[in-house]
Amino acid sequence: KPRPFCCGCCGSKVPFWACCTGYCFVVYMIIGVAIFFIQHYLFFPGWMLSDNAPIRLPENVEVFEFKATRSDGKLLSGIVENATQVGLRVVSFGGNAMEMYGTAEMCSRRFVPAFWKLAPKKFRDCPCPVSAGCSNKVCGTSCYATSYRGYPPNYGWTSSRTVTADLLDLVDNALQDAPGGRVLVMAWSLGTAASLQLAAANPDRIAGMLLLAPFASVGVETRAAIKNMAGMLGLAAVFPWLWIFYLDPWDSVAAMRSLPTDIPVAVASPSMDELIPPWQHRAVFAASQSTCRAFLEVPHAGHASIDKMLQAVTDPMLRTLDHAASSCSTGEW
């Protein structure tokens, strides 16, 4: 005959069903905590990156410190190329396996030459949008970058709140001699989510955005990754814990939707992206309300094909411009 009670405490007896419910809840929460940390450290693998800076930085590149005034007040490290130039400021955001040195190189070596070759009308008319007294001569370009929290040399917990606050402080540093100025944003992969959170928090400081392979949100991308690796069975196995993936959403779609219509937006979508399905690129782009936006499909390009995506921005032969979705050409952008 089964016992009606399975445990007791201080003379009281707990019903069998209550014991089983309690045990199951404890196991559920333990598994949930494990899933949370596994997802976090796979999405933000800063702990895997080396803290070693390049042995010798180029003469026009320097590391600087800025204060995280909007969060915990710590001193953070950033990197800038051509700091002495008075002209266009570009802030670059790298992927989840990049620290600031790789991000700065992506900006200065790859993006800036492509940007000036493109010569967007917005900047051709006024190539110094961050300067109060903008002249018509071509100005120099400075590239700013930093490591996300949890990435060397900026240690801490990676979250959308702290990263957004830190990036706002980085933009303040970039524009400290140009009150009321704006920065141009170039971002790839995880950096697109960070840049959109930044733009949503302070749109008045954004001159334009070029997003390479953006994702819709951390939750959506995690579900897509699980389905890609383990199929529907794997997704079903973690179904009871799906809510965990949305605790820190990094919602790029909502952030894009909140931006003013006067911020130009261009999205480059690699057609063979093996990490972020191209439908997510399009979902982020579709949320834009900008009066000048362009969606560039890049054939035969994978997620890490940064050079190919930037070449496609400047060379019409290497891309397919979705005229139905775009409201202006990249030349106008």
Kindly report which listed range (3-7, 30-34, 212-216) carries the lowest average pLDDT score. 3-7
Task: List pLDDT tens digits, range 225-250.
Answer: 898 889 999 999 999 999 999 999 99
Report which of residues 291 and 180 the model is more confident about. Answer: 291
Structure tokens, 260: 């003013």
Residues recorded for the chain: 333
Is pLDDT of 324 > 70? no
Give mean pLDDT, residues 273-289: 95
* pLDDT of amino acid 237: 93
Name the band, by pLDDT with cuts 50, 70 and 90, for residue 120: very low
Distance of CA 324 to the CA centre of its chain: 26
126 with 119: CB under 8 angstroms?
no
Task: List pLDDT tens digits, range 135-159.
Answer: 334 456 788 999 999 998 998 999 9
Name the nearest CA neighbour of 213 among 232, 195, 235. 195
Kindly report which listed range (196-200, 205-209, 211-215) carries the lowest average pLDDT score. 205-209
* pLDDT of amino acid 126: 45
Task: List pLDDT tens digits, range 26-76.
Answer: 999 999 999 999 999 989 998 888 776 665 666 778 899 999 999 989 999
* pLDDT of amino acid 200: 96
Distance CA 4, CA 2 (A): 6
Q: Residues near 31 by Cβ (< 8 Å), separated by ≥ 6? A: 241
Q: What is the mean pLDDT of the chain?
A: 82
* pLDDT of amino acid 331: 55
DSSP per residue over 35-63, as a string? HHHHHHHHH--GGGS--PPPSS--TTEEE
Asked if the peptide bond before residue 153 counts as cis, ω within 30 degrees of 0, the response is yes
| AA identity, residue 61 | V
100 with 147: CB under 8 angstroms?
yes
Give Dmax over CA atoms of the chain in angstroms. 93
3-state class (DSSP) for residue 235: helix
Structure tokens, 305: 């094909």
